[in-house]
Chains A and B, each alone.
Chain A
């Protein structure tokens, strides 16, 4: 095992009382943060989550025990950490840029370099163009982006987060979470480890490689385990819900200590690509799916496949692939020839085009293994391109040669629509649609 970046040895926190007895906040605890992991700290309120974070980050001195930074006592060396706060903790009288520059100013970095680094990190967190705004003028989500930028601009080795998403609404939080994961997985930021305090179980299971659950009176570690699920994680998968249930039980029943679910050996709960079969992609176009859903809504969301074909003067064989595709994506429910639209399908059909793409993207990566694999492969490769053959070989094992080609064609069709990837037909390669970003930035710099 690699050497821990931060290691706490029997740290505890208590407040001395005038009378003999003292208030113990955290019982002596061992804990370490290793490079390459996202550690989530869960616990009921009053279990000392934040106190523990502050001791690990060197903000607060433990009442007993020691904290080591690369095996040296933390108060004797220079440490590279930052914190993202629940309340954002921005200075309202400084502009976004000045807020982000402040930590660099503290390091005595020259004005020119300070500005360049800050603008770059603002760009990374999606705040390009907001440099001169004051935090007051931004929404909560945007403010927390500034909080992230300020924490990341010093290129911390360990990034601490104290309930960073709990002051935000659900959708904004979800969005920021996935962006953070993206930065982390693509190694856009040089951060070695992330330590996040949260009270949201799903958030912990979504993000973390390792989860620590605290109990209270006084704070102590109830359980500390690794999350074996691959990213991106699916909230609806059995393994995910099993983990959530397990943590929920630990949190609500202080008297029992259930076993950590054994996800690795149980193939059903883990999405192991090698063991899974590709679903047969119905050869339908995304536009057709949207059209079908709109028609079904006109039938007040529920109808019979044959009546539908009749009504549209469609051959049933032409209609079925579209119905199957909609069903695969979770937009339709089909039962004995009756189709009814799902809430997700209704939302998709009624959204405007950009939102539709977004929903399609979510549904496609959620339900279509092939698309998920292509996307993952592209994200993991440094040059963000993957040759077509790579997937042809894998599909070959399951489909005939002709069908393999058609499967890939449909996948390309869907993936392009969802803007998951692009396909270079000349070189027969999948590429990540990164070009769009650079195009936008070129346009911007030419404007200024």
Chain B
């Protein structure tokens, strides 16, 4: 009996090259160890706020490594935070609505506005180590990628079927077991897809926050972003090509070595029992599954550890049940919670009051300027959305309807989407300026570059979700192509299109900060817009204007979400739902 069980499926597979595989895994572990050591030495060194960025391609691997570590650390922080935040929001009804509203607003706040503040704060927090500046950059990337993950985890938790929860309750699963066997697996797929979006967003911000001026100081961190910026500002096109190639290499490697294996692996967490037409397969995952080293590592470390935890928890639970429930502790914990809540509320009120005091000194003319800028940026964001939708809808529908095309186009589009638009900004700006276009038009192109993918992916998903019998009906009755689009395709993709547009709109507002104001070859290009005003204020250290502009932008995004997107969303969910 026992023997048969231990022959689990992965081991039954014929193992080719087991020694080679194990060696690879072992080398990977060693390399990881060395990398940690290297990073620790660099981070704990004294602070060098204005690192000289070399343009030699030989420095690129090291720069790329530093950037990857920043992204990785920020991502791990995001994951932890997202899971914690989502968990608390889902299970504490008292704070749930507040937490979700907060999430909504935080998602709309332009992250880049906080760049100078965060950097200065971190510098003064850890003044004697490089860690301070590094941590500032990481924190910014973190704030750029955490919200959608938190939201995804929260919605997953909320949509767990009731009977699964009951199965856990009736069998008295501990929180620990429920988390590992129900909650985390159930939300894995959502988390994975959002992680991909988040990491792509992380690269977008990393390109900017590795090198930026605040007032009279110029912060620089050694990394791929600063390398590209230096290359652009000195007009060194060879270095730019090196940098961009490195970026592409990183994106492709991340896709092959991390995302594909993870997507392949996460397939087992699909809750629906629908057969997937085609699933992502990964040779890397297959190799890892066959590795001896990992199997033994799991058996020797993780498995006994988890046994130990389960044992501990059940013993504690039994003891808990033996004692009668003590009401007193519950009382005191609520008192503590109330005191805590009051304290936090007081702190928030105080800080908000102080912030508003800052705004007193802004002259009326500045205020008018900001409003005009907001109008200009609003116009630009919507034009960029319109253009993006104009090409992505036909392209997305074509890809979605044609499985063969999808097989080729989707991975390519995914890589293209992961490529940070900010890395391409200088190249595209140079090209546009040669054509004689100013930043006014250029910024629209730049916004589009960053946000069109959200629409494309959603349209593809929407087109794939249209049931084939609906399309067959259209063919059967010889619908004209106009009729096909208005009665089948557009209503069919509508919910997906809205999701894509909401995300793209938020992204475009955020991108405006970079797109409307750019350092290129020793000159600063800028055009009228709220984004440019935020950037300029942060460059010159004009904090009151920075704060006001940020508030205006956040307000606009939130208002547009409430007034435009949410009603459309509701319409999509009620009228245009495709499930029976």
Contact = CB atoms under 8 A, between A and B. Distances in A.
A228 B264 CA distance: 56
Contacts of A131: 5
Interface in B235-291: 268-271, 273
B166 A108 contact: no
B171 interface: yes
Contacts of B315: 108
Given A94-B181, A102-B171, A119-B1, A111 B307 contact: yes
B310 to A, nearest CB: 5
Interface string A102-124: 11011110110001000100000
B140 to A, nearest CB: 35
A107 B316 CA distance: 11
Nearest to B173: A106
Contacts of A340: none
B124 interface: no
Interface string B160-204: 010110110111111001000110010000000000000000000
Nearest to A102: B181
B170 A81 contact: yes
Interface stretch (A83-91, A371-379, A408-416): A83-91
A213 interface: no
Contact of A97 (B5, B173, B174, B269): B5
A93 B268 contact: yes
A417 interface: no
A82 B185 contact: no
B97 interface: no
B424 to A, nearest CB: 39
A107 B173 CA distance: 8
Contact of A108 (B4, B185, B313): B313
Give the bracket for the number of chain B residues in contact with chain A.
Answer: 35 or more
A92 B167 contact: no
Interface in A53-93: 54, 57-59, 78, 81-83, 85-87, 89, 91-93
A92 B271 contact: yes
A188 interface: no
A78 B323 CA distance: 12
Nearest to A93: B185
B313 A87 contact: no
A132 interface: yes
Contacts of B1: 119, 445, 448
B45 interface: no
Chain A interface secondary structure, helix, strand, loop or mixed?
Answer: loop
B164 A106 contact: no
Contacts of A94: 181
A81 B170 CA distance: 7
A428 interface: no
A448 B2 CA distance: 9
Contacts of B173: 102, 106
Contact of A132 (B8, B163, B177): B8
B3 interface: yes
A54 B318 CA distance: 23
A87 B5 contact: no
Nearest to A78: B321
A81 B269 CA distance: 28
A435 to B, nearest CB: 20
A108 B314 contact: yes
Contacts of A102: 171, 173, 177, 181
Nearest to B268: A93
Nearest to B3: A448
A296 to B, nearest CB: 45
Contacts of A134: 268
A154 interface: yes
A115 B314 contact: no
A136 interface: yes
B5 A115 contact: yes
Residue from B1, B5, B317 having most chain A Cβ neighbours under 10 A: B1
A163 B164 CA distance: 15
A97 B181 CA distance: 13
Contacts of B166: 54, 59, 83, 85, 89
A121 B556 CA distance: 61
Contact of A87 (B161, B182, B268, B310): B161
Nearest to B185: A93
Given A92-B269, A108-B313, A448 B4 contact: yes
B273 A136 contact: yes
Interface string A12-56: 000000000000000000000000000000000000000000100
A337 B530 CA distance: 101
Contacts of A445: 1
Contacts of A150: 167
A82 B269 contact: no
Contact of A103 (B2, B3, B171, B268): B171
A119 B4 CA distance: 11
Interface in B305-354: 307, 310-311, 313-315, 317-318, 321
B58 interface: no
B174 A106 contact: yes
Given A108-B310, A136-B273, A85 B167 contact: yes
Nearest to B324: A76
Contacts of B269: 92-93
Contacts of B94: none
B9 interface: yes
B164 A89 contact: yes
Contacts of A91: 164, 181-182, 185
A188 B90 CA distance: 42
A108 B182 CA distance: 18
A119 B5 contact: yes
Given A105-B177, A132-B9, A89 B271 contact: no
Nearest to B170: A83
A103 B181 CA distance: 11
A157 to B, nearest CB: 13
Nearest to A128: B1
Residue from A108, A150, A448 having most chain B Cβ neighbours under 10 A: A108
Contacts of A81: 170
A59 B8 contact: no
Given A93-B185, A154-B171, A106 B177 contact: yes
B314 A89 contact: no
A143 to B, nearest CB: 9
Nearest to A54: B166
Interface string B451-486: 000000000000000000000000000000000000
Nearest to A111: B307
Contacts of B311: 108, 110
A360 to B, nearest CB: 34
B171 A106 contact: yes
25 contacts: A59-B170, A81-B170, A82-B170, A82-B171, A83-B167, A83-B170, A89-B164, A91-B164, A91-B181, A91-B182, A91-B185, A92-B268, A93-B185, A97-B5, A102-B171, A102-B181, A106-B172, A106-B174, A106-B310, A108-B315, A108-B318, A115-B2, A132-B8, A150-B167, A445-B1
Closest 5 pairs (CB-CB, A-B): A108-B314, A103-B171, A448-B4, A89-B163, A89-B167
